[in-house]
Structure 1
Amino acid sequence: MDDNWDDLRLFLAVAREQSLSGAGKLLRLDPATLGRRVARLEKALQVALFVKSPQGYALTDAGADLLVRAERAEQAMRAATAVLSGQSDRLSGQIRIGAPDGCANFLLPQVCGAIAAENPELDIQVVALPRVFNLSRREADMAIGVSAPTAGRLLVHKITDYHLHLAAAAHYLAERPAPDSIAALRDHRLVGYIPDMIFDRELDYLADLGIARVPLASNSVSVQLHMIRQGNGIGVVHDFCLDAAPGVRRVLTGAVSIKRAFYLIRHADDQRNPRLSRFAERLSAGLRAEVARLEAKA
């Protein structure tokens, strides 16, 4: 049994990383050794699990079928371990969340801090990256997104709506007239995303306003906010960020009000994992409450 699970664990790593070198780093195994183990598993099963090429290891149909079964076994193993270690009442172990950096910087510290205080044996890892996470490769146990994916074997539920407005530093506005229309924005420096690095159409706020040029840009919400705080221009800001940016105030609120949503995204097989499900419920509730609290102060 132990050998069978170990073989599945190695198979899962190669399937998710699509290479021996990537899987070897995760498992701390030499790629050559890992390659021999994969070959041994294929021989034992009498079927090819991967198509090998210079580009990496791609799953065959048989490999894709085994991946589904192996992930189910992985979830069953995690659930059994949780029960045997007494995790049924209190969360413990490690849970990794992928999130866009606005959520990761301005919401998750409070929400995850509260969950950690309730569960002292729980380790929460927040990976803040402005991109979409690959849950099939187990880059994270769950992810927060700004749109609901439609492809893949995923569980997706809406957490909450949130709002954004144009904003600028008070000292920036003291030096020039505040814009009184969208057309007047052309007379101001604008702060926003790097156009070709916007990873989700929902983040292309300025294009919706007919604005093509962004003189000061970053792929990070935090960098954009700091640019605005320094008096460098006007940009779209999450209402829940304003509490952390004293001196920044909203402008043109009557003309520009943007609504978006956060979604919790999980691998489909995780719905049978009570530990991750309880954490997901607590995380979603915490985010809803924190967005409401901070937006009320905006």
Structure 2
Amino acid sequence: NGDLKYPFPQEGKDYYGNLNGQPTGTTNKTLWKNYINWVRTNSTVNNYGYRKKYGYRTLMGYLIGQRKKNNQSEDLWRAPIYPFHAMKEGVTLFTDFLDGLQFGDYVGLVTYDDSSRVESVLNEDGVAETVDLGNELITNRYTDIDAIQRHKQASHYAPYTGMGYGIRDAKDLLQSHGRAGARPTMLVMTDGNANRSPSGWSLPGSWNWDEITDTDGDGLANYSTTDPHKQYAFWQAVEAANLGYTVHTMTVGAGADRDLMQAIAKACNGISIDAPGGATIEDMRSQLLVAFGKIAANVPPAKLLADPESDY
């Protein structure tokens, strides 16, 4: 019938984690042809001496470079693709830290790209672990939060960094599901290279960089940007801080915008953590644990919600 002997090895999943089904017919041929053409023509492949060499190494390079969304390739969550993998390891270390701390802290998870969403479910074809947080979107089920994020891959939904969207949703999550008396805190993990924001959005007229990022008291801004995507992220973070939320940042990757991440943390009464490019989370384990300890120590005391002198 003209079908190729072998199906292309990645079929992708839909938004709900269901496998799309092995490609057949013309679709299968096109997938293989695109991989073959990439190996033949990609300049980086040629520079490394792999032109017209077909196998696991070039196939992985093709999937990571050309088909890394989850609806294209379902298994790349297993691959340590940096800097995203460093961020995943950071979340694992952070949830382990909270578990060991036993302070009764609760945590939620928001992911972002060209949009954002609160993550609460893991129920995917081919994955043994399952999680459903139900309405417990902020929870002390650290292992479940970690399991959800470990099964995400670089560009899982889309290859963008809508940092402001994520901060907005995290702020909304804290408002809607935060525990009474708790002191809400946000930890933003990314490379800081925000590249998405609402169309036509601009900073409000009252925005004043000199007031918001003057960290040395000379009346002048120590940070500012004209990039609308980074402006949107900064504005959302300051909006969270204005609600009394503390915003910490953790920066990953060699090409990260560390200036932005540090400025956000300073403006929002937070701590800035840096995981430089080339360093693994395991390499930095002791430093990160110290930083997480500082974050824990930086949490203000709980609010008193009831008058102890009153009768119940």
Question: Could you tell me the TM-score, scaled by structure 2's length?
Answer: 0.25
TM-score, length of structure 1 as denominator length: 0.26
Q: Which has the higher strand share?
A: 1
Higher relative contact order (CA 8 A, sep 6+): 1
